[in-house]
Amino acid sequence: MAATIKDIAKMAGVSPATVSRVLSNQREFYSEKTAKKVRDAAKQLGYQRNTSAVELVTRKSRVIAVLVSSTQTNFSNPILNGIQQQAEAHNLSVMIIFAGENKPEMQEKALQTVIERSVMGILLVAVDLDPTNNALLESANIPFIFISMTMKNANFPFISSNDFDIGYQATKYLIKKGHTKIGFAGTDLNSFVGNLRFEGYRDAMRDNQLARKAEWVCGGHFTYEDGLKAMRQYGQKTELTAVIASSDLVGIGILNQANQYGIRVPGNLAILTVDGTQLCDIVRPKLSSVTQSFFEMGVKGMDMLVSESIKEFYSMYTPINIVERESV
Amino acid sequence: MAATIKDIAKMAGVSPATVSRVLSNQREFYSEKTAKKVRDAAKQLGYQRNTSAVELVTRKSRVIAVLVSSTQTNFSNPILNGIQQQAEAHNLSVMIIFAGENKPEMQEKALQTVIERSVMGILLVAVDLDPTNNALLESANIPFIFISMTMKNANFPFISSNDFDIGYQATKYLIKKGHTKIGFAGTDLNSFVGNLRFEGYRDAMRDNQLARKAEWVCGGHFTYEDGLKAMRQYGQKTELTAVIASSDLVGIGILNQANQYGIRVPGNLAILTVDGTQLCDIVRPKLSSVTQSFFEMGVKGMDMLVSESIKEFYSMYTPINIVERESV
DNA sequence: AACAATATCACAAACGTTTGTGTAAATGGG
DNA sequence: CCCATTTACACAAACGTTTGTGATATTGTT
């Protein structure tokens, strides 16, 4: 049905080889006169190149696969926007695949599909890859980078915030504001990033000679409900004067539950959230945050993937900065 | 580098044809004995099929392209989740491409890339296709469906809420609650959906013998800032007792600006938003909404695309329902 | 035991490109 | 005007599959 390169060749009276070279602008192979004939014929036939054929023969594709964990934290959007922007700049296509909620089998299936397509690179956004899939990812010989997720297995390249630093800076900031009893809510200490942040929190407390209590830290997975739950665990008469929320949504959960308890924010309780998305600006009081550079993660991730230098497993941190709003 | 079907054939001592048929389970073509040899060899070689080659020869692909307008309204996530769920059910891959902020050239480029890939179907999520691209979309002979966007050009199949009904039901609901002076904020009346919703609003007012004023309706594009702006336009001493917000974010903008004016919600001003995402639940007061079935749109869209019956341009509405929370 | 029917497999063409190489025509220098 | 160089193009192989058809071996029927 669709027109092929041969149809164009016939119409223009040249060989398919010439058509191919004209259409991909290999200047030293054709004269302008035949080039025009070819281009006219192509337009007239409504030619669209067949990407499968191209990728088959060239043995590489111009698509970047993005695996994103479907645990819907809202920060994946700015990351994807960054990725998309750079993809356009490099004239690449982006294939986004939801890798499920970090279930090993779903991850494996997602990996299979992208490897079959022999994509030119893989970006893993916020996916906590199960160790059983490590081998599969490596065996494909496709460059990959983790975004917004650092791995215990330090051999994998990543672009992310420094999670230890997030915990440390957040705590230090609150201490500087005069707080001594500081909660830590909404993240699973068994997860790698959760643990890193906690260590930052712990060290900052220690470095300032502040005691901690086990009940000040609450688990969770970055959700709004985790925030509500954390505040309920702290209770109406909590001794805490400040709390670090693992995400904006957690922060909002804490805020709402605190208000319900009659605890005023920031009067009775300061809240500092991690992420700093638009959500911080649309609630009242606006939430102060440790803001991550999500858009930049996407940009840098894509850039690193197309650069040749990823051969040596190179990782980097994107900056974090504390944005003061109204909640501390 | 990577193992091919021929390598397997050699190792198993059979022909490539047999390997192909074993691997794709064409039962009537091989014995279990050779099948086992083939499968063992495949596993041992770490075989991954080459999708390009498959698609080239079969002349069809198992990927659905999703074009999504990057005007980041937050409702695209549930739609994408619905799409993704059904894609898995049908064993399809999903390729997501951001089509820019409804700029004609970006739309064209996005369309080109998916057509080149000869995807098996195209889902256009919230993209307001420029008429200049209509021909391109149609010429590709690839089934497509618009999601959450109805077109003036009625010949294109879509899945969406009934926007007239959204306007009508929202207005009717507020009238039933005793309101007579009702604002309409955050949508561009020149857009097709904006206009439809406005007509619903207008007709509901008329059907209830209520007068309207031009200054009660404010334009915009569903953003938080549009909400702030609308409320500022209404002013601190507005006569309005209720307002319909074109999105949750617009509703929150109105809410925050109203609070700043000392206008109490819902005491002095009722707010009814359109969309009904999680945002409605995390602000205080919680926002009542005309809730759309976004997830279902994704599910139905994918289902329609794979069903054969889309040949005749079939469109459908997904249900809307009013969820009462605390803002009216 | 002979023949038909079936099961199992191999051959080879085809999908639409890209690209190395061969070759005829055009150009240039002297 | 002759030979060397360059320009402009065509030929054909290759990429990794799928699939129609033909060939051989196996089974079944009488």
Q: Mind telling me how many Å the CA of B202 is from chain A's nearest CA? A: 30
Q: Write down the number of H helices and E strands in chain A.
A: 13, 12
Helix pair angle (A51-58, B51-58), 10° resolution: 140
| Residues in Cβ contact with B56 at an 8 Å cutoff, skipping those fewer than 6 apart | A50, A52, A53, A56
CB contact under 8 A, A52 and B56: yes
Over residues A32-43, the mean pLDDT reads 94
| pLDDT more than 70, % of chain B | 96
Is residue B8 pLDDT above 90, yes or no?
yes
Partners of residue A56 in chain B, C-beta under 8 Å: 50, 52-53, 56
Q: What is the distance in angstroms measured between the alpha-carbon CA of B317 and the sugar C1' of D11? A: 57
Token pair of B206, please? Answer: 């008329």
Name which residue leads in pLDDT, A70 or A88: A88
Sequential DSSP letters for A277-288: -THHHHSSSPPE
Q: What is the distance in angstroms measured between the alpha-carbon CA of B114 and the sugar C1' of D1? A: 58
- Between the alpha carbon of residue B192 and those of residues A42, A181, B140, the distances in Å are 35, 55, 25
pLDDT band for position A311 (cuts 50, 70, 90): low
Q: What is the distance in angstroms measured between the alpha-carbon CA of B20 and the sugar C1' of D29? A: 34
- Cβ burial of A308 (10 Å; 0-12, 13-18, 19+) is exposed
Number of Cβ within a 10 Å radius of residue A11: 17
- Between the alpha carbon of residue B161 and those of residues A264, B79, B300, the distances in Å are 40, 13, 12
A34 touches strand D (CB under 7 A): yes
Please say whether the beta carbons of B324 and B293 come within 8 A.
Answer: no
For B59-161+295-318, the fitting CATH number among 3.30.450.20, 3.30.2090.10, 3.40.50.2300, 3.30.470.20 is 3.40.50.2300
Q: Mind telling me how many Å the CA of A185 is from chain B's nearest CA? A: 18
pLDDT (tens digit per residue) in B160-175: 999 999 999 999 999 9
CB contact under 8 A, B117 and A52: yes
Q: Which residues touch strand C (CB under 7 A)?
A: A 2, 4-6, 16-17, 20-21, 23-24, 47-50, 53-54, 56-58; B 13-18, 28-31, 33-35, 53, 56-57, 59
Please say whether the beta carbons of B169 and B136 come within 8 A.
Answer: no
Q: Mind telling me how many Å the CA of A87 is from chain B's nearest CA? A: 10
Partners of residue B263 in chain A, C-beta under 8 Å: none
CB contact under 8 A, A256 and B282: yes
Number of Cβ within a 10 Å radius of residue B176: 9
Q: What SS3 state is found at B75?
A: coil
Nucleotides of strand C lying closer than 7 angstroms to a protein CB: 7-12, 14-20
B2 touches strand D (CB under 7 A): yes
Name which residue leads in pLDDT, B88 or B318: B318
| Residues in Cβ contact with B218 at an 8 Å cutoff, skipping those fewer than 6 apart | B183, B184, B185, B186, B226, B229, B230, B233, B234
Please say whether the beta carbons of A37 and A13 come within 8 A.
Answer: yes
Characterize B66-105 residue by residue with b for buried, 16 or more Cβ atoms within 10 angstroms of its Cβ, and e for exposed: bbbbbbbbbbbbbbbbbbbebbbeeebbbbbbbbbebeee
Q: Enumerate the β-bridge partners of residue A316.
A: A159
pLDDT (tens digit per residue) in B264-296: 999 999 999 999 999 999 999 999 999 999 999
Partners of residue B1 in chain A, C-beta under 8 Å: 141
The second-level CATH assignment, the architecture, of B163-292 is 3-Layer(aba) Sandwich (3.40)
- Which residue places its CA closest to the C1' of nucleotide D15? A57
pLDDT band for position A101 (cuts 50, 70, 90): confident
Partners of residue A2 in chain B, C-beta under 8 Å: 118, 141
Over residues A134-140, the mean pLDDT reads 88
B57 touches strand D (CB under 7 A): yes
Lay out the sheet containing A93-98: strands in order across: A93-98, A63-68, A121-125, A144-147, A158-160, A316-317
pLDDT (tens digit per residue) in A208-238: 999 999 999 999 999 999 999 999 999 999 9
Is residue B141 pLDDT above 90, yes or no?
no
CB contact under 8 A, A98 and B81: yes
CB contact under 8 A, B98 and A81: yes
A30 touches strand D (CB under 7 A): yes
Please tell me the predicted confidence (pLDDT) of residue B309. 53
Please say whether the beta carbons of A243 and A201 come within 8 A.
Answer: no
Tell me the CATH number for domain A58-161+295-318. 3.40.50.2300
Please tell me the predicted confidence (pLDDT) of residue A313. 61
Nearest chain B residue to A279 by CA distance is B279
Nearest chain A residue to B110 by CA distance is A93
As a whole number of angstroms, the distance between CA B181 and CA A249 comes to 35
CB contact under 8 A, B278 and A46: no
Please tell me the predicted confidence (pLDDT) of residue A306. 86
A13 touches strand D (CB under 7 A): yes
Where are chain B's structural domains?
Answer: 5-49, 59-161+295-318, 163-292
CB contact under 8 A, B48 and A140: yes
CB contact under 8 A, A53 and B49: no
Over residues B126-151, the mean pLDDT reads 89
Over residues B48-69, the mean pLDDT reads 91
Token pair of B192, please? Answer: 């097709």
As a whole number of angstroms, the distance between CA B128 and CA B115 comes to 18
As a whole number of angstroms, the distance between CA A254 and CA A214 comes to 18
Q: Pick from A50, A112, A259: which is nearest to B118 by CB?
A: A50
Please tell me the predicted confidence (pLDDT) of residue B149. 87
Over residues A118-122, the mean pLDDT reads 90
Over residues A92-121, the mean pLDDT reads 86
A2 touches strand D (CB under 7 A): no
Q: What is the dihedral of CA B311, B316, B318, B322, to 10 degrees?
A: 170
Is residue A312 pLDDT above 70, yes or no?
no
The residue type at B32: E
Please tell me the predicted confidence (pLDDT) of residue B313. 62
CB contact under 8 A, A116 and B72: no
Q: Mind telling me how many Å the CA of B282 is from chain A's nearest CA? A: 7
Please name which of A259, A194, A256 lies closest in space to residue A220, comparing C-alpha atoms: A194
Give me the count of residues in chain A.
Answer: 328
Please tell me the predicted confidence (pLDDT) of residue B72. 58
Is residue A87 pLDDT above 70, yes or no?
yes
Q: Mind telling me how many Å the CA of B127 is from chain A's nearest CA? A: 16
Three-state secondary structure along A309-328?
HHHCCCCEECCEEEECCCCC
Report the nucleotide nearest the CA of residue B116, measured to C1'.
Answer: C16
Please name which of B179, B172, B186 lies closest in space to residue B257, comparing C-alpha atoms: B186
Q: What is the distance in angstroms measured between the alpha-carbon CA of A50 and the sugar C1' of C24? A: 32
Please tell me the predicted confidence (pLDDT) of residue A1. 61
Report the nucleotide nearest the CA of residue B31, measured to C1'.
Answer: C8
Widest distance between CA atoms in chain B: 87
Please say whether the beta carbons of B184 and B194 come within 8 A.
Answer: no
Is residue B310 pLDDT above 60, yes or no?
no
Is residue B73 pLDDT above 70, yes or no?
no
Token pair of A165, please? Answer: 């630093």
Number of Cβ within a 10 Å radius of residue A117: 24
As a whole number of angstroms, the distance between CA B78 and CA A72 comes to 10
Q: What SS3 state is found at B68?
A: strand
Characterize B182-207 residue by residue with b for buried, 16 or more Cβ atoms within 10 angstroms of its Cβ, and e for exposed: bbbbbbbeebebbbbbbebbbebbee
Assess whether the region A58-161+295-318 and the region A163-292 belong to the same CATH fold: yes
Is residue B45 pLDDT above 90, yes or no?
yes
